[in-house]
Structure 1
Amino acid sequence: MCGITAFVKDPRSSINGHVNGHVNGMTNGPTNGHPDASLANKLEASIAILNHRGPDDAGIWINQDSSVGLAHCRLSINDLSPSGRQPLTSDDGEIHAVVNGEIYDHDRLRTVCSQEHGYRFSSESDSELVLALYKIHGAPRFFRLLRGEFSFVLCDERNGRRRVIVGRDRYGIKPMVWTSIEGKILLSSEAKAFLPLGWKPEWDIEAIATSGWQLDTRTLFKGVHKLLPAHWLDITEDGFQIHRYWDAEYEDKRKLETRSLDEMVQGVREKLIESIRLRLRADVPVGIYLSGGIDSSAVAGIVTQLARENNVKIGNETSTKVSCFSVEFPNSSGFDESSIAERTAEWLGVDLVKRQVNEDTLARDFADTAYHCEHHHFDLNCVAKFALSTLPREHGVKVILTGEGADEHFAGYPYFPVELLRETDHAQPDAPLSRDEELRAALHRSVDKDMRQVFRNLGAAGEGGTDDDDDCPALAQVNNSTMPWTLLVWHAKRRLFAPWVQDLTAGLDYRDTVLASYSADVRAKMRSRWHPLHSALYMWNRTTLANVLLSCLGDRTEMAHSVEARTPFLDHHLTEYVNRLPPSVKIAYTPPEQAGGNTTSHHGDQGPLWESSAPGLTSFTEKWILREAVRPFITDELYKRKKHPFLAPMKWPRGGPLHQTLSGMLTREAVEGLGFVDYNVVRDSLDRAFGEEADASAFRNLLYVGAWVTLAERFGVRKATCNESN
């Protein structure tokens, strides 16, 4: 993993008649036959800001007419020698690239490229495959061969014409943001790297107020866009185009499934094992984040078996001992899973190192987490993940395997059963809910009602619409799914914003923003082809997974400490297989009279999410087929345990470290300096967010605004005013 920064002369600027001679002191022509020294200095300053992503090496390349510049900071994982440094150059010297991420199955692909196509590799780095595959197959065809997590900028100067290709992996595991200022397109892993290149950050008020930053290409900053997952930019002297090269697909809901359950379980098992095996390849030590859930525990169990029974190396280690890392929340009943992780580690015979995360830790790391994430979050989970990610490097581990993506493909979250119940699963006609239409409809009403109450108990409630989706005709576009409402439950409430922002958004239904983030062809599939559960999975994965969870619970908090995380559950060979499985093998209904001791219901410590759940919700076994597939690799306790989301505690004492930190941060001057927040709401929230009777919604207000204040101070964001247009 690494950090990248790039600039490209914007073809749109010359088309629009803009002056291209100077950009913030940077000249576009060569200086004495060499690239502009001013540009080089600015690129060096830009990539230095991203040193946390790649502290091992750094380099820049600028073409002869200074129309393209590439910068890279390196976290050495494969090929630790100088030959693996970037920017990379192709064997003919005419294609250049900076790559962030990992390309898997690279040993086989290198052999194909060299033996069948004559490509001459200059390193052992997997990143060089981006150059080789592009040169051999061109764009977009080479994307289908890229397996892994990646973002890159590639400059092709063959045939006397400049072409720049910018790509991002299928699920958005690796970040890529871009903006355009004064005749240049700037690209980077993180927006903060734009600052030395002349970027003057401003708030995108509409994106913040309507949750657009969470749902589409926008960020918190005006004019700064995310390149969406599975998309690529094509920048030539003739123009600028964005394309999609891949998308998730699901079976037609009316198509009967003929495969047996045993066949499907075996299929998941084989593809998951292969995904994990590929991600153990590294020239440095590899470890695992281990929680109290089945996802990370399954990864640990499979890695252990691969090492001990199949002699698969764990990174560069010759030992079969697996290193695992976990969070411990002391004195936090219901949130701390470290005891379960300990029992799992003992059962597997692996090493477990724990990071104790207490209130002092969360208060200390809050601002740094917001700075690295570059967006607000609705709880303290990301701060806990930030603290956890200090552990691997302290113990000499650069690469970590994680469980992200399992809940998103095997329907692990508690808001998915309501979508399963929305329609019959015709692929499983013998399932109880397929045979009994009345039961399915009754459970749907019950689970829908109960899940909405769970959200309210957690201090989250729908915004920009009501929690009754019957009043929203636009939802017919997605077959009346409740997922658009679910995606908005964590969004900041209207009353938090200044009156002028409330006026700006008056009358808007934010669910329209959700719907607009999906293409017309996808909405058509949701209306008539896909089962509602699959539509909900698609909506979640294309918004919250990509724009929030893989950022603040993934890349940004891990790379803040120079740790590369690998996500075997997001291998597209695995996910494409899982997507084609019937809905009712992902979430299984177990009638109460059959529950006995063989269901996850009411088994042991199920955590705060399930404490007040009604029987309807607890009658479902989430991730059923994954549980069966990984059964040989996990304990009986985990096999029977319900999903326990990674959660940091939300209730803290009045006058404690968090109360003091947030009070000191959220002064009237700091909050009113943002220009778009109502300080009176913040002051009221400070009064209600702590102590025994703490209001979770008020606490979330403080987390949102605390992150904005941090970004305003560290990025130098200009105060927003009601006169600006977005």
Structure 2
Amino acid sequence: MCGISCILALRGHDTTYHQANGHIHTNGDTHALERKKIVTELNESLDKIQHRGPDARGHWLSDDNRVALGHVRLAINDLSPDGAQPFHSPAKKIHAVVNGEFYDYDRIRKEIESTTDYVFSSRSDSEIVIALYLHHGLNFVHYLRGEFAVVLYDEEQQIFIAARDRYGIKPLFWTVQPDGKGGKRMLIAAEMKAFLPLGWKPEWDVRSLKDAGWNHDERTIFAGVGKIRPGHYLTCTAFGHLEQRQYWDMTYPDKNLPDPRTPEELIQGVREKLLDAIRLRLRADVPIGIYLSGGIDSSVIAGMVTHLVKTEGVALGSQPASSRVCCFSIAFDEGSGFDESSIANRTADWLGVKYEKKIMNEAALAERFEDAVWHAEHHNPDLNFVGKYALSEVPQECGYKVVLTGEGADEHFAGYPSYLDDYLREPDNAYEANNTLSEPERLKQFHLAETAAKAYYDSVGADTSARGASVSRKMLNNISTISSMAAFLPRVFAPWTDKAYGLCDPQRTIVNNADGTVRAKILNSWHPLHSAMYIWSKGHLANIFLTCLGDRTEMAHSIEARTPLLDHKLTEYINGLPPSVKLRWMPEERRFSEKWILREAAQPFITRELYERKKHPYSAPTTWPRDGPLHKLLKGLMTKEKVEQLGFVDWAKVGGLVGKGFGEKGDPGAMRTALVVAEWVVIAERFGVATAEGKF
């Protein structure tokens, strides 16, 4: 993994040169000074994301000063200077910087070398981007397998390309800003903080905060700054025309077409494809470890890795197969009810792996809170992201740069409680012959699930007032998952924002993020469970779980996390499975088994305890005492002066939240909202965000 920061001058920008007879003629000293200024800016920008790549730094600036590509390197494959970026084509006409990892690249490289005259200059996986582009044009993205953000510039075609992986595992932000000379330039970077030295003056996007656009579409919390969508690429042609296009999307089978495969066939298919995804991710020139919690997702990764090492002699990156697998974890206070380290300990003992963990108490969470917010670049309604930030310290302290992690299992194997309603909303006609759930039982369980879902969200301080029928739900075949996704919107906005931005409905934002062709499939051909999984993956997975619980808190400590359960070859297979093997009714026990097919596929590699354990989502504790480190921290951040400085928050609505949120009978809703507002204060101070003002 690495960090990138790039600048593209748009049409109308003064480049201090003119072209005649095929030659560039510069305006002497002015051109040189401009060049020096851009390089200085770029280096200052890279300083802001140095944590993403502490091992090396490089840049390339076009002769006409229009294009600048900057890169900081976390050396994983080809540790020699040959692996440094930017990369250039043999003719020096195509240039690229890459953040991320490509898998199966040895095979791709051999294929390119046998069918073209391309000569590689390194052993790095990243260089295949240029070779594939030369051979396939814009279709090069279809051949990339892994997590990545890529920026490529073709001098001859005058086309600038920025692409992001299929699930949005790696971040890529962009904005268009004045260049200070009457023109404009596009800035693209792995993190928004990299824009600060490039003339960007951050302002709140209050509409995006109110309607949750930062979480459910291409907007961010900052005005004028967007995300390149997962599975998309952005092009700028001839320094003028900007366009974002999709190259990949999730899809699901017709809910009425019978699936003739037996459960045993499907279990074996998942097992083989997951082992393959893990096997590919054990290739590196540095050691590889594993994040291990008390859940099945990380445990199956650890179990399968141990199996591959012991039975196939697969090496853990640069470590020989004889080395012990090393797992990392954090432990919360045992009395909190959120500590899973004892289960992880038993799993590690059963597997015979080395197990390193860090104890996290309240003081440790409070100490890391503000830095974790700075790295996440958006708010969160709990402290899970601070826990993940702390977890990423552990492999770094043990000398590891790469870890395997279990993100994506809940999204693809129906692991979240909110999915149960939508699974039960319609019968699974595709798997009627192998379904264990009778129609009368389905109807009975559906009504029970709806009641239980409301009770659960009430218990964690979520807003359940919008769980009823609505136009938004009707547009998505009445799935209730969108109500769960919108349950934590803070109701703290100043009165002027209602007039300035009108009705802001997060559920409508979620609906509109799915394009018309997808909404047609949701209405006519996809089972409601699959519709819910699609919508969740396009929102929470991409914009929260893979950011503040993924890349951002991992790369804060220069840790590359690899996600086998988001391998697109694997997920395409999983998406094609019928709903009733993901959520499975167990008639003898009269309960549902979430992620049933993953449990069955993983059974040889995990303990009986984990195989039988009910889903328990990773979470930091939510109840904290008065006058403790977190209480004091939030009181210091949520002063009247600091909150009013934000400009868009009503102090009358938030002034008492800290008092309500702490103590034995603390209000969980107040605690969640207080955390969000405190995080906004941190972002405002760290980024220097201007006070929001009503503009009518």
CA contact (8 A) 2:210 2:504 kept: no
**1:234 counterpart residue number:** 235
1:547 and 1:509 map into 2 onto residues whose CA distance is: 18
2:673 counterpart residue number = 701
Q: Indicate yes or no: 2:2 matched with 1:6.
A: no
2:566 is aligned to 570
**CA–CA distance in structure 2, aligned partners of residues 669 and 294 of structure 1:** 46
SS of residue paired to 2:244: strand
The match for 1:329 is: 332
How many angstroms does 1:29 deviate by?
6.5
Q: Does structure 1 residue 400 correspond to structure 2 residue 403?
A: yes
Residue 115 of structure 2 aligns to which amino acid in structure 1?
A: E
Q: Give the counterpart of 1:512 among 508, 515, 526.
A: 508
Deviations 1:52-77 (A, max 9, x none): 00000001111011111000000000
Residue 22 of structure 2: aligned partner: none
- Deviation per CA, 1:625-655, whole angstroms, max 9, x where unpaired? 0000010000000000011111000100000
Aligned to 1:127, the other structure's residue is in SS state helix
**Distance apart, 1:320 and its partner CA:** 3.1
> Which digits, 9 at most, give the CA deviation of each residue in 1:682-705, with x for residues without a partner?
221011010011001101111111
Answer with 270-279 or 424-433: which moved more.
424-433
Instruction: Give the corresponding residue for 2:181.
Output: none
- Does 2:587 match 1:584? no
Query: Which of 642, 645, 668 is 2:640 aligned to?
Result: 668
Task: Tell me by how many angstroms 1:247 deviates.
Answer: 0.3
Deviation at residue 116 of structure 1 after TM alignment: 1.3
Q: 1:171 maps to what in 2? A: 167
Q: Which residue of 2 aligns with 1:621?
A: 593
Distance, in Å, in 1 between the alignment partners of 2:236 and 2:250 is 26
Are the aligned partners of 2:328 and 2:357 in contact in 1 as well (CA < 8 Å)? yes
Quote the residue 1:150 is aligned against. Answer: 148
Gaps of 5+ in 1: 23-27, 596-617
Distance 2:630 2:170 in 1: 31
| Structure 2: distance between partners of 1:684 and 1:197 | 39
In 2: Cα distance, 1:349 partner to 1:288 partner: 14
Matched-pair contact (CA < 8 Å) for 1:469–1:480: no
Counterpart position of 1:350: 353
Instruction: Return the alpha-carbon distance in structure 1 between the equivalents of residues 94 and 345 of structure 2.
Output: 49
Measure, in 2, the Cα distance between the counterparts of 1:296 and 1:137.
36
| Change over 3 Å in CA distance of 1:30–1:302 after alignment to 2 | farther
| Equivalence for 2:383 | 380
Give CA deviations for 1:23-81 in whole Å, capped at 9, x if unaligned: xxxxx967557671100100010011100000000011110111110000000000000
Contact 2:203 2:690 in 1 (8 A): yes
Residue 566 of structure 1: CA displacement?
0.2
Partner of 1:605: none
Q: Give the secondary-structure state (helix, strand or coil) at the position aligned to 1:242.
A: strand
Give the Cα–Cα distance (whole angstroms) in 2 for the partners of residues 189 and 628 of structure 1: 38
Change (3 A) 1:424 1:84: same
1:100 maps to 99
Structure 1 residue identity aligned to 2:655: R
Equivalent residue, structure 2, for 1:68: 67
* Distance (whole Å) between structure 2 residues aligned to residue 102 and residue 48 of structure 1: 22
C-alpha separation between the residues in 1 aligned to 2:551 and 2:335? 27
Query: 1:423-482, CA deviations, whole angstroms, 9 ceiling, x for partnerless residues?
Result: 010111135665x323212211110111111011011124xxx43432x13422211111
**What CA distance in whole angstroms lies between the structure 2 residues aligned with 1:49 and 1:29?**
31
Q: Which amino acid aligns with 1:320?
A: S
Structure 1 counterpart of 2:231, which letter? A
Note if contact 2:15-2:65 (Cα within 8 Å) is conserved in structure 1: no
Distance 1:669 1:90, change over 3 A: same
| DSSP-derived class of the 1:581 partner | coil
Equivalent residue for 2:209? 208
SS at match of 1:138: helix
2:287 corresponds to which residue?
285
Tell whether the 8 Å contact from 2:634 to 2:678 is kept in structure 1 after alignment. Answer: yes
Distance 1:130 1:29 in 2: 32
> Are 1:631 and 2:609 matched, yes or no?
no
Deviation at 1:507? 4.0
| Paired position in structure 1 for 2:35 | 36
Change (3 A) 1:180 1:622: same
Distance 1:204 1:29, change over 3 A: farther
Equivalent residues of 1:371, 1:711 under 8 A apart:
yes
Partner of 2:261: 259
Instruction: Provide the C-alpha distance between the structure 2 equivalents of 1:506 and 1:240, rounded to a whole number of angstroms.
Output: 29
Amino acid at match of 1:99: V
* CA–CA distance in structure 2, aligned partners of residues 96 and 331 of structure 1: 52
Name the structure 1 match of 2:52: 53
Instruction: Tell me what 2:226 maps to.
Output: 225
SS in 2 for 1:480: coil
Measure the CA separation in 2 of the matches of 1:505 and 1:120.
55
Please identify, of 674-683 and 176-185, the stretch whose mean Cα deviation from structure 2 is larger.
Answer: 674-683
The alignment of Structure 1 onto Structure 2 pairs a total of residues equal to 679
Please show how residues 158-557 of structure 1 align to structure 2 within 5 Å: 158=156, 161-182=157-178, 183-237=184-238, 238-318=240-320, 319-431=322-434, 436-462=438-464, 466-470=465-469, 472-493=470-491, 496-504=492-500, 507-557=503-553
Once the two structures are superposed, residues 559-616 of structure 1 have per-residue CA deviations (whole angstroms, 9 ceiling, x without a partner) of 000000000000000000000000000000123xx11xxxxxxxxxxxxxxxxxxxxx
CA distance in 1, matches of 2:448, 2:49: 49
Task: Output the CA distance in 2 between the equivalents of 1:561 and 1:635.
Answer: 31
Distance of 2:357 and 2:26 partners within structure 1: 54
Among 604, 617, 628, the alignment partner of 1:656 is 628
Give the secondary-structure state (helix, strand or coil) at the position aligned to 2:106. Answer: helix
Change in CA separation of 1:171 and 1:448 when aligned onto 2, cut-off 3 Å: same
The 10-residue stretch of structure 1 (438-447 or 121-130) with the greater mean CA deviation from structure 2:
438-447
Find the aligned partners of 1:681 and 1:49 in 2 and give their Cα distance: 35
Query: 1: CA distance between counterparts of 2:461 and 2:607?
Result: 34
Asked if structure 2 preserves the Cα contact closer than 8 Å seen for 1:332 and 1:649, the reply is no
Distance 2:28 2:630 in 1: 53
**2:435–2:580 Cα contact (<8 Å) kept:** no
Q: CA deviation at 1:504?
A: 4.0
**Structure 1 position 484, deviation (Å):** 1.6
Aligned partner of residue 593 in structure 2, secondary structure: strand
* 1:398-443: CA deviation from partner (whole Å, max 9, x where unpaired): 0000000011100011111111100010111135665x32321221
CA RMSD of superposed structures (Å): 1.5
Q: What is the CA distance between 1:234 and its match in structure 2?
A: 1.2
Indicate conservation of the 8 Å contact 1:433/1:439, yes or no: no
Q: Relative to structure 2, which stretch is displaced further, 677-686 or 364-373?
A: 677-686
Query: Which residue identity is paired with 1:664?
Result: G
Which residue of the partner structure matches residue 690 of structure 1? 662
Question: CA separation in 2, counterparts of 1:302 and 1:293?
Answer: 15
Provide the C-alpha distance between the structure 2 equivalents of 1:676 and 1:317, rounded to a whole number of angstroms: 52
With the length of structure 1 as denominator, give the TM-score of the two structures: 0.92
Distance 1:188 1:101, change over 3 A: same
Change in Cα spacing, 1:147 to 1:8, as seen in structure 2 (3 Å) is same
2:27 and 2:250 mapped to 1: Cα distance?
45
Contact 1:287 1:323 in 2 (8 A): yes
TM-score (norm 2): 0.96
Alpha-carbon distance, 1:506 to partner: 5.3
Q: Which amino acid aligns with 1:267?
A: G
How far apart in 2 are the matches of 1:320 and 1:569? 24
Q: Within 1, Cα distance between the matches of 2:333 and 2:274?
A: 33
Q: Write the letter of the residue equivalent to 1:426.
A: N
Deviations 1:265-298 (A, max 9, x none): 0000000000000000000010000000111111
Per-residue deviation, 1:679? 1.7
